[in-house]
Amino acid sequence: MTLMTHTHRASLAVATAALLVAAAGCNNDKLTSVNNNPNAPTSAPAPAVFTNALQSAVGTWLGSGYDLRDISLLIQHFAENQYIANDQYKGVQSGSLTTQFASAYQNDLEDFQIVVRAGVAAKDPSLSAPASIMQQWEFGYLTDSWGDVPYSQALAGDSAAAVLAPAYDPQQQIYAGMFAALTKAATDLNGATASSLGSADQIYRGSNAKWQKFANSLHARDAMRIVNVDQATADKELKAAFAGAGGVFTSNSDNAQLNWPGDNIFNNPWAVNFSSRDDDRMSKTLVDTLNHYNDPRVSIYAMPATATGKFVGQPNGLTNAQAVAYSDTASRPGAIFYPGPVAYGSGAYGGNGGKQPSYLMTYAELALIQAEAAQRGLGGLNASQAAGFYNAGITASMNQWGVTDASKITAYLAQPQVAYQAGTAGLKQIALQKWIALYSDGGQAWFEWRRTCTPKLVPSKVAVLSYVPRRLVYPTAEKAANNAQVQAAASRMGGDANNTPMWWDKTSAAPTCS
């Protein structure tokens, strides 16, 4: 069941306890401690729980399952070279989604909730606020993937109410809850004492100021997501985010990124995947776009094709015979993701991919959100500021991925097809640049494509669906465990199909979809 708690994961077997009681005999002073197993503690220090939850959450949404093997194919950053089922949209069918949906609630979100409770009990926002921010980051992926999901009653399985069949909240209410939670977290951290997380925080090493910036920047991401359905609220929440306590990201040093140790115990999950698989190729859609704009990121995002030494993409959604033919003629993902010096396959691909960061949110994304807000006249910004934010976003993305030659960046920005054009054309440029910058975060790129219709994606011709999916269907296990609530949510949304538009998915109001 989705919301079953893991709080009681550590316990003694009944039979073992009985034997210990019997051995204690009439020695009553031993009875009170007989059930305490020093090798199976029932609680853990909050910082250690936070570290575990953080790594698990990033693995869930930016790892080799949801992201690399499913959504990055939908959004046409990657193509599948051998196991073509996911590139034919079979990976987003009901029976394939239980792990991603359930693990978020049962593991990551529950553990973050433990940290929230510990921080609240200790009156220590340096514990509770970062955990709450991470919960909102995760709930964003859940609701933007499925629509209505458990939120207000989530994680209440071990509460006094013992909610084991949580209601699926309407997405509009989930967004209101996320806005409120992020505002509270940023405010609570204002003037908070030194962090209790310290090195257990693998993102900001216990910097309360950095967590404030992440909370407000995430707030801005969520606000822009709803602009097509409720521009007034988007405007209000953008203003709140930009003016929030602590401010928003202002440089790449603020990026929310998990810096993996790369010690072969805790490695970047993509590198773990590439250490034993060689079936990912770059999508033709992405590589053609990078090549068309003479984008220097192409040599970082991708490797030259083995057969030609050129950057070439593979079309998405091919038959198995068609896909295999691209093994050596299409580019592999960039060498920075491969553990080295030799990975699985036919050549030496990388070097230190285990330490490659996973990016939860970046300054590049935030600057492009500001660019769109400025062009639309939202969030207290105006159109005259749009070009500056646009250029800042592209430059930050270049720098983030290792393009540091200022002359290359200047030349890229100066191209007539890249130079900011303002108006609706400018909004389309911003959307395209965000899709490029969100490489390695398939979920966010997919959500943005659904909101902006940019870039133009070509549906697979041999897939189980005739369109690029706009949402994920509810997992089979959820329908078995919490069917009444699932069916109520599906009815409210207008069906449980891959093309059922969720609350914010109103492309008819998007100027970039015309």
DSSP string, 274-305: HTT---EEEBHHHHHHHHHTT-TTHHHHBPPP
484, containing H or E segment? helix 483-493
Which of residues 350 and 390 earns the better pLDDT score? Answer: 390
Find out whether 365 and 437 touch, Cβ atoms under 8 Å. Answer: yes
How buried is 252 (Cβ within 10 angstroms: 0-12 exposed, 13-18 middle, 19+ buried)?
middle
| pLDDT score at 11 | 33
3-state secondary structure of 499: coil
Find out whether 252 and 363 touch, Cβ atoms under 8 Å. Answer: yes
CATH architecture entry for 46-197+208-264+358-513: Alpha Horseshoe (1.25)
Domain ranges of the chain: 46-197+208-264+358-513
| pLDDT score at 36 | 55
| pLDDT score at 10 | 34
- DSSP letter at 278 equals -
| pLDDT score at 31 | 44
| pLDDT score at 35 | 54
Q: Is pLDDT of 194 > 50? A: yes
Take residue 45 and report the two structure tokens written for it. Answer: 């220090």
Strands 256-258 and 149-150 turn out to be unpaired
pLDDT per residue as tens digits for the range 1-56: 444 444 333 332 333 333 233 333 444 444 445 555 555 455 789 999 999 999 99
- HSE, CB side, 13 Å, CA atoms: give it for residue 380: 10
- Helices vs strands, H then E, count in the chain: 20, 6
Q: Cis omega (within 30 of 0) on the bond before 341?
A: yes
How buried is 120 (Cβ within 10 angstroms: 0-12 exposed, 13-18 middle, 19+ buried)?
middle
pLDDT per residue as tens digits for the range 80-115: 999 899 899 988 877 777 788 988 999 999 999 999
pLDDT per residue as tens digits for the range 391-435: 999 999 999 999 999 999 999 999 999 999 999 999 999 999 999
In this structure, what is the dihedral angle of CA atoms 253, 254, 257, 263, given to the nearest 10 degrees? 40
pLDDT per residue as tens digits for the range 315-324: 999 999 999 9
- Work out the number of other CB atoms within 10 angstroms of the CB of residue 402: 13
Question: CA angle at residue 399 from 438 to 217, to 5 degrees?
Answer: 50
| pLDDT score at 91 | 81
**Please, which residues bridge with residue 283 across strands?**
314
Take residue 274 and report the two structure tokens written for it. Answer: 């590439």
Q: Which residue blocks in 377-475 are alpha helix, DSSP H? A: 386-400, 406-414, 423-437, 442-452
| pLDDT score at 213 | 98
* Nearest partner of 185 among 275, 119, 256, judged by Cα: 119
pLDDT per residue as tens digits for the range 221-243: 999 999 999 999 999 999 999 99
Share of the chain above pLDDT 90, in %: 80
| pLDDT score at 346 | 63
> Which single residue is written with the structure tokens 């270049």?
398
Q: Is pLDDT of 456 > 80? A: yes
Mean per-residue pLDDT for 367-384? 98
Q: Which of left, alpha, beta for 347 (phi over 0: left; psi -120 to 50: alpha)? A: beta
Share of the chain above pLDDT 70, in %: 90
- Long-range contacts, stretch 342-350, CB < 8 angstroms, 24+ apart: 343/274, 343/275, 343/278, 344/274, 344/275, 344/276, 344/277, 344/278, 345/278, 346/278, 346/306, 347/306, 349/274, 349/303, 350/271, 350/274
Q: Is pLDDT of 249 > 90? A: yes
| pLDDT score at 9 | 38
Take residue 352 and report the two structure tokens written for it. Answer: 């230190």
Mean per-residue pLDDT for 435-446? 98
Q: Is pLDDT of 77 > 70? A: yes
Q: Cis omega (within 30 of 0) on the bond before 455?
A: yes
Band of residue 354 on the pLDDT scale cut at 50, 70, 90: very high
- Work out the number of other CB atoms within 10 angstroms of the CB of residue 49: 21
Q: Is pLDDT of 76 > 70? A: yes
